[in-house]
Structure 1
């Protein structure tokens, strides 16, 4: 029975890695669509979001079944409960990638943000993609170094997010009200995407080290 239980825990981890990989693909496509006004790519992200949702729901069912049948305790219990919470965060990250793609589709054939903000959003997209790729490797390897890197990358995303607000609320801003709405929404989506990755990194590092505050959000 113990061997079966360990196999089930391994399956939980494998499913998390698979979902994270799909999230990484989704944010890469979404940010590319956003920055290049590629409506076909945006629609691809929107159409495929259900795959992430379905895998997350399936993982939740497996985790709940494990809790009911195996009644894990101590670290094993923390692993299963953390998997449920990580699954929820990954599903939300997929939704945020979809939101970014929806903005690209809504504003097509125009770009979502004004020209002077595009370099900022290109960098936000690059960082979100990098964070998602690192998160996939983190869930596979449980590397505490990757958890720290994700936190550091999130700090850069936060700085860029604040710079967007400084720009659109500044006295020299010439954009329309709709530009302010689009820019602030898009920036928030990018920022929240990275925040969810940090939340997951906190849970993984806690399981490895027992130190809940090692990765701060």
Structure 2
């Protein structure tokens, strides 16, 4: 009986992990789609982002319910407890990633049919989007493998995104920049959305390291 309960518990944990990894994969697909929409001023592509974010939110409820049921019914301890609690926190992180991507799509939709950015600013935003999508891919792999070395790699790759963000801000603050004030506001916000998306993937990695080692990492 006890063995059966343990097997059932770990089956449910695996199902929770699969849902979390799917949320992460959808967020990565959404950030890539949103970036394509931004660069191409493609409204139908932007609308697809909203569909992807809706799928992320549809997974949030079942993940939270499953995690709470595991806590209430199984009373896990040690690493099992860490895994369930980590899952609860990850649901929030992954949902926020979806929300940030939606903000990118909303910015593009608001300015359509015009481009939100142009020239070097658009190129930097495009590169930020590509790096953000790669970070989401890394985070998904970390969720599936629980590999702490891969989790640490997310932090290193996020440094590249932070560097692009600094370059973007430097560009629009340069007195020689000829863009309008509304464009500067849009670009500033977009850069922040991408930067925060990357930060959440780093948090995913840190949570997995905590799950594996039981040690909290400093930000």
TM-score under structure 2 length normalisation? 0.94
Q: Does 1:102 align with 2:106?
A: yes
Worse overlay, 67-76 or 191-200: 67-76
2:149 is matched with 145
Worse overlay, 90-99 or 110-119: 110-119
For 2:67 and 2:30, the matched residues in 1 are separated by 24
For 1:41 and 1:101, the matched residues in 2 are separated by 9
Q: Does 1:130 align with 2:134?
A: yes
1:79 is matched with 83
- Counterpart of 1:21 (choices 20, 25, 36) is 25
2:70 is matched with 66
Q: Does 1:192 align with 2:196?
A: yes
For 1:16 and 1:183, the matched residues in 2 are separated by 30
Q: Does 1:6 align with 2:10?
A: yes
1:178 is matched with 182
- Counterpart of 1:93 (choices 81, 87, 97) is 97
2:164 is matched with 160
Question: Is the Cα–Cα contact under 8 Å of residues 114 and 179 in structure 1 kept in the other structure?
Answer: no
- Segments of structure 1 that go 5 or more residues without pairing to the other structure are none
Q: Does 1:116 align with 2:116?
A: no
- Counterpart of 2:51 (choices 32, 41, 47) is 47
Shift of 1:170: 1.9
TM-score under structure 1 length normalisation? 0.94
Deviation >3 Å, runs of 4+: none
Shift of 1:209: 2.6
Question: Is the Cα–Cα contact under 8 Å of residues 121 and 168 in structure 2 kept in the other structure?
Answer: yes
Shift of 1:23: 1.2
Question: Is the Cα–Cα contact under 8 Å of residues 42 and 104 in structure 1 kept in the other structure?
Answer: yes
- Segments of structure 2 that go 5 or more residues without pairing to the other structure are none
Worse overlay, 190-199 or 66-75: 66-75
